[in-house]
Amino acid sequence: MLDGADGPSTGKSVSDLAWTGEPETEEIHDFLLAVREADGRPEDTGFDGGEHLLGHVDGELVAYAHLDTEGDSHGNQVAELFVHPAHRRSGHGRALTKALAEHVAGKPLRVWAHGDHPAAVHIAGTEGFERARELLILHADAEAADWPEPVTREGVTLRTFVPGQDEEAMVRVNARAFDWHPEQGALTADEVRATEKEAWFDPEGFFLAEEDGKVIGFHWTKVHEAVPGRFGGEPAGEVYVVGIDPDAQGGGLGKALTLAGLRYLRDRGLGQVILYVEGDNAPALAVYSKLGFTRYEVDVQYAR
């Protein structure tokens, strides 16, 4: 529902709530940076596109919400809400929630609660939102884990991603593997190309499985720089996305791809690896448990 709902009280309510499509980005960056320093979230300190709800007290930004109006592949608009660490327990989170619900009245809405904070649970329950989705964050100690060499079935080979060559093939597999997923299934080749320009992108950590010259699976890894209050303040590798073409499932392909990425992250000197997995994905949870992953945190989407 909102990130960081706890902290000292200012005693002042939001006097100025306003929606805009063109916010002052520096103001939002500084605001979100303060939230991240207190909570370890959000990872990014800015949101592109959509609509922005700004809450000011005496000219200071104390509450902020971003609404993704394009939404997910299931037709839901998706929002994230934040309250400045120095202005919490003053009703700002509830004010944001009410304004958001009124703004999108009659349209399907999902709101993220990162870490499932107790205050978010309370606001959701009293404002008519229902728990709709759990996204688990799992964690593994890379130094202690026993990750053997990946083994593929006969005829399947592993290689690394080639920018400018493999985007379309990877996206085709992704679309088939995640046709049920509200975000991942909508990935486009242009979005992959845009991500290749990000500082964290590393094709050597992007593994493809091929059979008869056709891409049938992939494991895309990511490295997070150290963030205070997040994963012990140390860098972390991530099992970013593992996708297998439904027609190619079986024979341990998913495990082989996962192991290739895990061993790569460990070889880079990373002491910990995280991943996100849907809370109701029992088969994936079983696989990751055997690889040494345990539950670290949970993000929740509330629906209205």
| Residues placed in the known binding site | 81-83, 183, 222, 238, 242-244, 249-255, 276
| Rounded alpha-carbon distances, angstroms, from residue 66 to 3, 50, 93, 255, 301 | 12, 7, 13, 37, 14
Say how far apart CA 215 and CA 233 lie, in whole Å.
37
Say how far apart CA 212 and CA 158 lie, in whole Å.
12
Helix, strand, coil percent values for the chain (each to nearest 5)? 30, 30, 40
Q: Which of 109, 4, 37 shows the shortest CA–CA distance to 67?
A: 109
| Rounded alpha-carbon distances, angstroms, from residue 178 to 182, 216, 278 | 9, 13, 12
Say how far apart CA 88 and CA 7 lie, in whole Å.
5
For residue 273, the Cα-to-chain-centroid distance in whole angstroms is 15
Amino acid at 108: P
Say how far apart CA 138 and CA 255 lie, in whole Å.
16
| Rounded alpha-carbon distances, angstroms, from residue 226 to 114, 237, 238, 271 | 18, 11, 13, 12
Say how far apart CA 180 and CA 182 lie, in whole Å.
7
Amino acid at 60: E
The annotated binding site for acetyl-CoA is made up of: 81-83, 242-244, 249-255
